[in-house]
A = this chain, B = another copy of it.
């Protein structure tokens, strides 16, 4: 803590107590928590009342214990199958394929999809040594056959790995005789052309649609 800039300082400079330093380091690993936030939270916690700290620890343990992946779709759930998979109002003939469990939450917020989901668990990435056999593709094929699925919508990333995985899946799943589509790429809603990069504009142009009018 600044000891370098003042090597001759003859008085012990107070460091954080070791237990707080450790807590800070662990908190610093959480997403979006930098060293300053981590220190602030660590100092807050050691000065909080016992029951507040217990509440936090309990909430973490409970969540970790209760939440698992749905055996059918791979989404986060506390019951098996998850509320989505067990909802009779959702269309079984329609499956939206996503990369990770939290993608389902984002798509659900859009209120634009009424079918089922399937979490792949990753994308094909030769650099990272991830091949098709590492993804939940077999279980997807089983669901397609079992539920007489008519269309699979690929909602993967719009990056290179998303492209590769979508291309691979489109080819493999078409063999099942079903329609395979991919969500559109283009301008984000509420945006201007000023803020779009070339690739986004290229894909927006390629994906152009006829305007429906009466």
Contact = CB atoms under 8 A, between A and B. Distances in A.
Interface of A: 1-2, 5-6, 9-14, 16-20, 22-23, 26-27, 29-33, 37, 40-48, 50, 52-53, 55-57, 59-67, 75-78, 82-84, 87, 89-90, 101-102, 104-105, 108-109, 111, 114
B2 A109 contact: yes
Contacts of A76: 16-17, 20, 43, 46-47
Given A17-B77, A43-B102, 6 more contacts: A10-B89, A11-B89, A12-B90, A16-B105, A23-B62, A46-B76
This chain's copy number in the assembly: 2
A91 to B, nearest CB: 9
Contact of A30 (B44, B62, B67): B44
Given A55-B26, A76-B20, A83-B14, A67 B46 contact: yes
Contacts of A1: 108-109
A45 to B, nearest CB: 6
Given A56-B26, A67-B20, A14 B78 contact: no
